[in-house]
Amino acid sequence: MQRRLFTEDHEIFRDAFRKFQEKEVTPNHAQWEKQGIVPREVWRKAGEQGFLCTWMPEEYGGSNADFLYSVIIAEEAARVGNHGFALSLHSDIVAPYIWSFGTEEQKKRWLPGCVSGEKILAVAMTEPGAGSDLASLRTTAIRRNGSYVINGQKTFISNGLLSDIVIVAAKTDPNAQPAHSGVSLLVVEREAKGFKRGRRLEKMGLHAQDTAELLFEDCVVPQQNLLGEEGAGFVYLMQKLQQERLMCAVGAQAASEKVLDDTMVYVKERVAFGKPISKFQNTRFKLAEVATEIEVGRAFVDKLIREHMAGEEIIKETCMAKYWITETHKKVVDECLQFFGGYGYMLEYPIAKAYLDARVQTIFAGTTEIMKEVIGRRMGL
């Protein structure tokens, strides 16, 4: 499909980011997977070259670029299997909370470091007993002597160990009714008293991305670290989920396209019963099905990118995309891996890593089941 989203300037940027990944990411990613974390210096290099928070206004160190630059980074990262260096999480999911809801003083204090890579971001919503159900949060943040005292535990936090700035969802009014009206967002900085990192979690996939537990034991943060208004945290989180889920779909779509490309090369080279397996009807039929689903997904995702950039409310549609594109990605990887035979089960082959990394796509940023629930409600059901 010929895409008409991008200008010549966008493609120049794409080429520059590809070269950055060829130099800084691809040669090192296997080592990062063994270590379970990405070195901080790579974040700084990305910042120096303008690959973090590209949309940020120049006064905070950014390039004031449009959303398509973020799309390009997500697509190119997915195409090289870069699932450890969580650029989109930092730039397009967490940083917008500070930009949209922070005071001018907060923006000047935190955003330049986010652009330069000196400050790495994370968002802490999920708890051991509360995932998609944010109203069930048990972490509290109680005002005391001009500060907030946070107590609770978070889990499955991406960039959990690296992060210098963590946006924490906590209940500032544990007795509020309805329960979600008591949720607020607080910014916890690395050096905050009572803020502790738990263990790095061992995952099925995404091995290079550090995912950790975060512990708050009488953690004291100044009252001026409240992001936006007290009690408005749930509303803020809901406002930003449209872009978060769209970014998930963008990455999963690009990853599916890459898997198909790799499989097309392999089936033409692998010989069985005296001919390339691409010449068997089953191969052609299966890959025709996969290619069709990918093409449909591309048309849908690009449509949503345009609508999101136009400022339209597409909450239902981005939930559809997050659900359908990530479920399709799981199916694509599974179907394609079969053509590799035993080699598809070997971790030295990218298809095996893609299979492991794909599984979480239908879980994070809202499970498939939650997406369907939101869609149903938006349909008036």
- Residue 64, SS3? coil
Predicted pLDDT of residue 335:
97
Mean pLDDT to the nearest integer, 59-80: 96
Domain ranges for the chain? 8-119, 122-230, 235-378
Residue 132 has pLDDT above 80, yes or no: no
Predicted pLDDT of residue 323:
97
Q: Which CATH class is domain 8-119?
A: mainly alpha
Predicted pLDDT of residue 2:
80
Q: pLDDT tier at 129 (50, 70, 90 boundaries)?
A: confident
Mean pLDDT to the nearest integer, 147-152: 98
Positions annotated as catalytic residues are 244
Phi, psi of 14 (to 5 degrees): -60, -45
Predicted pLDDT of residue 136:
82
| Rounded distance between C-alpha atoms, residue 206 and residue 204, angstroms | 7
Lowest mean pLDDT among 59-68, 151-160, 172-181, 371-380: 172-181
Per-residue pLDDT tens for 284-329?
999 999 999 999 999 999 999 999 999 999 999 999 999 999 999 9
Q: pLDDT tier at 282 (50, 70, 90 boundaries)?
A: very high
| Percentage, residues of the chain above pLDDT 90 | 93
Mean pLDDT to the nearest integer, 143-154: 96
Report how far apart the first and last C-alpha atoms of the chain are (Å, whole number): 35
| Rounded distance between C-alpha atoms, residue 44 and residue 195, angstroms | 24
Q: Which CATH class is domain 235-378?
A: mainly alpha
Which residue did the predictor score with more confidence, 179 or 213? 213
Mean pLDDT to the nearest integer, 43-65: 97
Residue 130 has pLDDT above 80, yes or no: no
Lowest mean pLDDT among 131-145, 159-173, 300-314, 334-348: 131-145
| Rounded distance between C-alpha atoms, residue 358 and residue 256, angstroms | 9
β-strands 226-227, 271-272 pairing: unpaired
Predicted pLDDT of residue 380:
97
Assigned architecture for domain 122-230: Beta Barrel (2.40)
Question: How confident is the prediction for the chain on average, in pLDDT?
Answer: 95
Any idea which residue has 């990411």 for tokens? 25
Which residue in 81, 93, 30 sits closest to 256, CA to CA? 81
Predicted pLDDT of residue 257:
98
Any idea which residue has 């001009």 for tokens? 146
Query: In 3-state terms, the chain is what percent helix, strand and coil (to 5)?
Result: 55, 15, 30
SS (H, E, C) 5-32: CCCHHHHHHHHHHHHHHHHHHCCCHHHH
CA 181 from centroid of its chain's CA atoms: 26
Predicted pLDDT of residue 83:
82
Predicted pLDDT of residue 127:
93
Asked if 88 and 70 count as a contact pair (C-beta separation under 8 A), the reply is: yes
Predicted pLDDT of residue 133:
73
Per-residue pLDDT tens for 18-41?
999 999 999 999 999 999 999 999
Q: What is the pTM for the complete model shown?
A: 0.94
